[in-house]
A and B are shown apart, each in its own frame.
Chain A
Amino acid sequence: MNQQKNPATDNAAHLRKGVLSGIRVLDFTWKTVGPWAPRLLTHYGAEVIHVERVNGWDDHRYNAQRSIVTDTPDANQVQGGKKLYAAPYFNTLHHGKLAVSLNTRSPEGLKLVERLITKCDAVVENFSAAVFPNWGLTWERIHELNPTIIYMSSSGFGHTGEWKGYRSFGPTAAAQSGLSLASGLPGQPPAGWGYSYLDVMGGWMGALALIQGLLKVKKTGKGMYIDYSVTEGAMSMVGTYMLDFQVNGRRTRRPDFPPGNRAIFPSLAPHNTYRCAGNDRVGQYWWVFIACETQAQFEALCALMGQPGLALDPKFATNEARVKHQDELDAIIGRWTRARRRYNIMQKCQAAGIVAAVVQSAEDRVEYDPQLHHREIFPIINHPELGDFPYEGYPVKMSRTPAFVHGRAPTLAEHNQYVYGELLGMDAAEIAGLRERGVI
């Protein structure tokens, strides 16, 4: 009932219809956590203006040109002979946005920022705490310029407190919050979150703050400052462990935590990943996750493995016994899965009502996952220059006001004319002057 087609459109954001049509966001974010938040508003039709510095660009455009950990940049990254204008992650993080260039080191550039603030409903940045005030943009000044604006700073530790100057990326916030320590095998170094969780979820929560802010402003007509600390957001995702410490004195820094892929609240067995036949393109083994949450599921698994007697063995007859002997049980299940194909195991277990899921890679999901295909989660969008190309979609299906995906990130300074000409009402000579003086 909620299927939507994702219309192929150009980046003329001001022409789009959506719940947030008419909402304009000034976007000073870069790297990963920051850009996600305003990006998600584009799916509801908001116009997001991504600001990049003159004579430079967002690091992600050319695979982090200024990063010290990557290879030399390739400004002409090519897919099927066509220019992409942007590196993969830039095209993912910024699709549907507008882009302008602006020199915030010049007083004239800062004047333009102030003028843009008067035209926007929200301004977002993820610089360190001193940057905006150094530009003269304290909350008081922003609020004076535009009394109904939402200003959100997205940072690792927030803009007050003794750590306000500390820098952070997703993995930094995961480490500090307690999330990294909640992932891994007991007795081994923390496995952390290799996707990195907070670079992603940190941005999604930032988007929630922005939407909440827009709702509140619509009610009260009063602007607000949102001081979003990604680490504090992350701590509210491990609240159960904090309460366990407060009430029971149990720490997450203990020898049997984290428990790998096993379950402890509640303790269940089996509940683990098991190696299957084959391996991926870089030689990592293939795995399937299997869990039994009920006695009926366990009996069904024993039958499926051709070992119905296991369910009667006192070592495995109850969940409590299975938890006690789960090393042995995991070895038995692992021997059964080892020579079998992963999707075949998943299908057979699921047909018997058992929780089972293949550990899917990006290739598995993008190319073969029938559910994601059905739900159009990686929509293929046509663009005159890029041709047909897949994107990551937006996973909220709404019956009256559907969200949509626009396709393609903006090229460098692509919307200078629209923003400085149409929005700020400058004529061609004024814009040429700004360009000559290196302001845009």
Chain B
Amino acid sequence: MKIAVCVSHVPDTATKVKVSSDGVSIDPTGVTYIINPYDEYAVEEALSTKEKLGNNSEVVVISVGSDKSKETIRKALAMGADSGVLLKDDNPRDSFAVAKALSEEIKAQGCELVFCGKQSVDYDNTITGQLVAEMLGYSCIPVIVEFNLEGNKITAEREIEGGREIVETVLPAVLTAQKGLNEPRYASLRGIMTAKKKTIEEKPAADAESLTEVLKMHLPPPKKAGRILGTDSSAVPELVSLLREEAKVL
């Protein structure tokens, strides 16, 4: 079976966000980019599923983005993915358009099982995997922390408010990975060396229109520095009375 993993190339979570001069995106100056943390779980799950399935399985990594996204594809190849595809697109597009490009490629490659992250830590949309599934007519289980495949039957656990759901579905399917699903492997030195030799196929991302438009990016109003009320429990009564009378939250 051919398994696809969708990976996105995102600013490191330690990034201090500055708005770029275009007014709608972040200023990339000095920003380090990494593989989206949740996508590492997706890559790991694809690799371990491939190992379980054995022989005729392979893992293809797909990313929509600029040339820079190759770094992230390379990272997944170093972990052990078999091949990589960059769907080139230098213009930012909404999740709908990204999902359209991904789903066309997944269809062309004939992948029946797809892993995504549950969320990319840049735009926090949390929907790309579901959109891809729906565009392909595949089943979808988002935010999974456990995954089991038997024949074409999938049983997964997903985290929701106040507990976990056990969900059943069938292939073909898209799953989105949550922390806790697995422990992503480190790329071995050999993996890193082999990854350098693997070619990343490049093609233009399928044309698709965004259905939403970002008008403006802005920073949240800075919080005014608060008050330190004291250095020990003698400050507790004042704290409680402020919470009751000033903040009115108790």
> Are A and B interaction partners?
no
